[in-house]
Every structure is written in structure tokens, then in C-alpha cells.
Amino acid sequence: MTALPVLKPGDTVGVLGGGQLGRMLALAAAELGLNCHIYAPESHSCAFDVVRDKTCAPYEDEAALARFADAVNVVTYEFENIPAATAKFLRSRKPVLPNPDALEIVQDRLTEKEFVTKLGIGTAGFVAVDSLEGLQTAVSTLGTPSILKTRRMGYDGKGQASIKTPTDTAEAWDAIGRAPAILEQFVRFEGEVSVVAARNAAGEVVAFEPAENLHRDHILHRTRVPAQIPGALAGQAGVTAGKIAAALDYIGVLAVEMFVVDDGGKLRLLVNEIAPRVHNSGHWTIDGATASQFEQHIRAVAGWPLAKPRRLGRVEMVNLIGDEVNDWRKYLAEPGACLHIYGKGEARPGRKMGHVTYVFPE
Ligand code: AMP
């Protein structure tokens, strides 16, 4: 990789992926006088609507990737399932941040969990599964209930099947398409929290305080900050995210999702997943903090100092999933509601169409 650049206003950040995260990154970059060039294969990418420079081409199109690399000062991504070969190709031409090695570790649930475990950080018990026989053995090791998850490409509960009794194994194995997987112990958690943290090239880490997340049908429904957890546990969550970011030699924003479990009266954290990008549970920072996760990511990849964000009150963020976005008039009329609509067109069930943030005095 070439030396890391320090961008100046007028320079361009290349973003792989054209969804709402890319759109919000581009909006944050614009406020800092930087441009974003969005690269995405889908012609209806909602991030295209807010940028001047865009490339609509497959991630395998080397000619398009080379032109994109020439047109930008640094490359980042808003989508973690970028093919490893794409990141590698771009890396030979321009700095790619966060580094593609980090991406490779967290793209695969098995290498991700092994990496976290090696750092001495707790996770749900897990076993690699490559066949139906392997699944049956894993179920006898971990017990039920448990969750079978594909190693790659899973998100928002996709590529997952729950196993309530050992007789469910064949059905679960078929449900995930007989793909390489891991079996995870089902965690009876008290709650779910996430830490969104930024790390820059100087190794400085700035984390937002933990957010408390409520999921519906495996999709994030609501985030509240501050999380209702003891201060010491919140501190531990921040330290855990910083430790992961440092071990990955990470530059940019990442999110670490954790379960809060009651271990005989003592609360403990188990890491569920690392997202190597800005994250839905950090959307509250746009309206609820003096600098957003998107600004932090842009600062980090631009080689700039990180902001020291301050929270502006007690914050609640609610996702607008599918046709919930049709209530936009209601939110517009609601005093204090900060409405964000992603401009995605068709409101399909389960699709994240927008969000609303409320900031209350503490
Ligand atoms: P994931 O795709 O791994 O982020 O999972 C999505 C959601 O499913 C999580 O936020 C949890 O609510 C639930 N979930 C995932 N893994 C487990 C587990 N091992 N035990 C209990 N719930 C889980």
C-alpha cells in the first residue's frame, strides 16, 4: 500500500457501496468540503443521488475499478461484503481504509469469532460446521437451543436458522443452503448494546458511549443512548471495542455488537459481531451528538484528527422499516422528531427506508 495521504478540502473519498450508509457518509464529507465518489453495482443506489461522481459497475470490473482508483485520493467502503479480490486490486493503486485484511477477518463469522476469542474477549460458544453430520456433532456439543449461521454474507438474520431440538438439524442445514456455517449457543441476554468507535492512523481511538439496541425480526428497531447498563460495564464495552480496533490495525469507524448477560448476578459482555463500517446503531449521532459517526469515519480515512463528540441529550432512534416510511407526514408534524429518508424507492418488507431521531433533555 502507498503511504497514507492527508486529504485537504476539495479532495475525494471513494466509497464502495451505494446504500444509505454511503449516502450519509457523502453528506458528512460534503459538510467538511470533501467529495465522495460512490462505486456500486446497482443502478438505483440511493447514495448516487447525493454525489457528483459515481461509478455504476460490478465489483469485478477491473477497468472501472482502475478508473475509480485514479479519480479518488483514498478508498473506503460502506458495505462489508466487498469481494476480497476487489479490495486487493484497489489496494495496489490507492490506500484502502480500513485495511482489507480487517475486512477479510470479519467477513467470515468463524474467523471473526476466533479472532475475538484470541483477544481474550467472550463470545457465545461456537463450533464450525461443514456438513449435516458436523452439525449433529456440534449440536450434541453445544446443546439446544442454538443458532446455525452461514459463515459469510449473513445480515439482519439472513442465513440463520434456529435449532430448538436436535431433530431440527436437517431442516436447519437445508434452510441455510448447506453452506459453510457456525453453530452458536443461544444466548439468554438481558439486552443488546453496541459500541461505535473510530480509530485513526495515529492509533487514537474515540468511542461513542454504548447504545442499547432492540431488534424486531432480527432487524434493528430502536436504539437508545445512554444504554441502561452500569457505568463500569459501559466502560468495559468501550475498552473492548478499542482493543478490537487496535488488533485489526483499523482506520475508520467500526461497530461492535454485544450481548449483556447475567452471569449469576454479575453482568458480563459477549461480543456477537463486528461491523467494519459505520452502523445503524450509530445513526443517533447525526442529531444527537456534536459530531456524527459519519464525520468520524471521513476524518479517520482522510488522515484528519478525530472529533471529540459530545452527546446533546438522551437520544432515541427508531428505524423506519418497509412501509413504516409512509408515516413521514406524521414525523414531520411531530415537534422534535428528526426525520431521515434514504430515497430508496420501493418500500419492500424488511427494507431500511429511513429513521427518526429524538433528542430529549437529560
Ligand atoms: P446477527 O446477524 O448475528 O447480528 O444476529 C441478529 C440478531 O439475532 C442479534 O442482534 C440477536 O438479537 C439475535 N442473535 C444472534 N445470535 C444470537 C445468539 N447466539 N443468541 C441469541 N440471540 C442471537
| Domain limits, the chain | 12-96, 125-185, 191-360
Q: Is the CB of 7 under 6 A from ligand 1?
A: no
Q: What is the CATH number of domain 12-96?
A: 3.40.50.20
Give the pLDDT score at 345.
87
Among 147, 151, 220, 256, name the best residue to mutate to test ligand 1's pocket (greatest count of ligand atoms within 8 A of Cβ): 147
Give the pLDDT score at 317.
98
pTM of the model: 0.96
Question: Residue 100's CB: how many other CB atoms inside 10 A?
Answer: 23
Query: How many residues are listed for the chain in this entry?
Result: 362
Q: Is the CB of 157 under 6 A from ligand 1?
A: yes
Picking from 75-84, 149-158, 193-202, which range would have the lowest pLDDT averaged per residue? 149-158
> Which whole number is the average pLDDT over 229-253?
97
Give the pLDDT score at 325.
97
CA of 167 to the centre of ligand 1 (A): 21
Q: Is the CB of 273 under 6 A from ligand 1?
A: yes
Q: DSSP assignment, residue 302?
A: T
> Could you tell me if 2 and 94 are in contact, meaning their C-beta atoms sit under 8 angstroms apart?
yes
Residue 18 has pLDDT above 70, yes or no: yes
Q: What is the CATH number of domain 125-185?
A: 3.30.1490.20
CA of 187 to the centre of ligand 1 (A): 8
Pairwise CA distance, residues 190 & 210, whole Å: 15
3 state SS of 116: helix
Among 183, 272, 319, name the best residue to mutate to test ligand 1's pocket (greatest count of ligand atoms within 8 A of Cβ): 272
Picking from 44-48, 62-66, 79-83, which range would have the lowest pLDDT averaged per residue? 79-83
Q: Is the CB of 187 under 6 A from ligand 1?
A: yes
Give the pLDDT score at 156.
64
Question: Is 292 exposed, middle or buried, given 0-12, 13-18 or 19+ CB atoms closer than 10 A?
Answer: buried
Q: Is the CB of 186 under 6 A from ligand 1?
A: yes
**Ligand 1 nearest atom to the CA of residue 188, by list position:** 21
Q: Is the CB of 163 under 6 A from ligand 1?
A: no
Cis peptide before 100 (omega within 30 of 0): no
**Ligand 1 nearest atom to the CA of residue 187, by list position:** 20
Task: Give domain 191-360's CATH number out of 3.50.50.60, 3.30.470.20, 3.40.50.150, 2.60.40.1180.
Answer: 3.30.470.20
Give the pLDDT score at 1.
45
What is the per-residue pLDDT across 170-220, written as a single tens digit (0 to 9) for each? 999 999 999 999 999 999 999 999 999 999 999 999 999 999 999 998 899
Give the pLDDT score at 154.
74
Question: Residue 266's CB: how many other CB atoms inside 10 A?
Answer: 8
> Which whole number is the average pLDDT over 280-285?
98
**Ligand 1 nearest atom to the CA of residue 157, by list position:** 2
- At residue 163's C-alpha, the angle toward residues 158 and 167, to 5°, is 135
Give the pLDDT score at 3.
66
Task: Return the amino acid letter for 331.
Answer: Y
